[in-house]
Amino acid sequence: MSWADRLQRIDNRILYVTLAVAVAIPVFVRVRMPIPPTIETLGAYEAVENVPPGKLVMVQSTWDAGTIGECEGQCHAVIEHLMRRGQPFVIWTSNPASPPFYNRIIEAAARRHGRVYGRDWVDFGYKVPGGALAFGVQSMARDFPGYMKSDVRGTPVTQIPALRHVRNATDFALIVTIGYNPIGEFIQFVQSVYGTKVVFGIAAINSTTTYSYIDSKQIVGMLVGARGGAEYEMLVKRPGRGVQIIMAQSFGHLLIIVLVVVANVSALAQRRLSRGAQA
């Protein structure tokens, strides 16, 4: 068996272990890499930065254990930014598994910045099933207190200090939706109707087709995968999960590039060697 044959037949399990070792390097060795923000991340950061003081922000979070690698950093950075500025926000989800994940981040940020529930943020929990978002988002945008009724603690919307004057989507300066899929309903039924600005925080796998929304100004910014989270964390100067993941991912990508080159070189060599043997 030639060296090219051997390289072509590396056991997959060896590759998996090599990848695990590569992504584990930053656990043991402190690595510093520059993480300059991209235009789409800057758009998201500036959108939060430009929200008038006291004006409400809506955060819709659908990420859970399956997307924690990409979306935790995004959520961490956005919540940190909102809490630091003292910008009141409401949060809700269309995924019942999401609240424990975002609440952990919110509670830690609230402790750091001395924020109070009801005044600085309100949690509505699981309010709309994923399959009914088109109806739920429209109803919520038209009559927020009427649709939401009460928060997760059972307090009616009208009795929550942060929400006393909220009527519809125009009372929100910005909507940030974080999850595996972008929630297009915010563009289709809120941004286009009420003019409320929208920011997407999404998994990299779904980002390719959403860049056109930035170009058409339907969204003002976008956090793409772990990279978006890491860039935003650097902008708010609080590196967290996003930065950790992107460091490890750099080693993983480097290994994949090496493997792609090795596989192609060995495939070409194998073809040439077999032609030589036939001749």
Instruction: Give me the residues that bind other proteins (CB under 8 A), please.
Output: 12-13, 16, 19-20, 23-24, 27-30, 39, 66-70, 72, 96-97, 125-127, 129, 134-135, 149-150, 184-185, 187-189, 192-193, 203-208, 212-218, 225-227, 241, 244-245, 248-249, 252-253, 256
**Which pair of tokens denotes residue 271?**
């073809």
Minimum Å gap between C-beta 216 and other proteins is 4
Q: Which residue lies nearer to other proteins by CB, 214 or 273?
A: 214
To the nearest whole angstrom, how small is the minimum distance from the Cβ of residue 105 to other proteins? Answer: 15
The per-residue b/e assignment along 235-266, b for 16 or more CB within 10 angstroms, e otherwise, is bbebbbbbbbbbbbbbbbeebeeeeeeeeeeb
Pairwise CA distance, residues 199 & 16, whole Å: 35
Nearer to other proteins, 8 or 188 (CB): 188
CB of 118 or CB of 184, closer to other proteins: 184
Q: How does strand 172-179 pair with strand 56-61?
A: parallel
Nearer to other proteins, 204 or 265 (CB): 204
Tell me the pairing of strands 56-61 and 89-93.
parallel
Q: How far is the CB of 18 from other proteins (least distance, A)?
A: 12
**Cβ-based nearer residue to other proteins, 64 or 120:** 64
Nearest-approach distance from CB 56 to other proteins, in angstroms: 22
Contacts of 168 by beta carbon, 8 Å cutoff, 6+ apart? 141, 142, 143, 144, 194
CA distances (Å), origin 154, targets 90, 98, 174, 187, 190? 15, 19, 25, 29, 26
135, containing H or E segment: helix 133-142
Provide, for the chain, the percentages of residues in helix, strand and coil under a 3-state DSSP scheme, each rounded to the nearest 5: 60, 15, 25
Q: How far is the CB of 238 from other proteins (least distance, A)?
A: 18
Of residues 66 and 86, the one with the C-beta less far from other proteins: 66
Residue written as token pair 């978006």:
228
Q: What gap in Å lies between CA 167 and CA 6, rounded to an integer? A: 68
Smallest gap from Cβ 118 to other proteins, in A, equals 19
**What's the closest the beta carbon of residue 188 comes to other proteins, in angstroms?**
4
CA-to-CA separations, 232 to 60, 186, 213, in angstroms, rounded: 17, 22, 20
Q: Which is nearer to other proteins, 159 or 212 (CB)?
A: 212
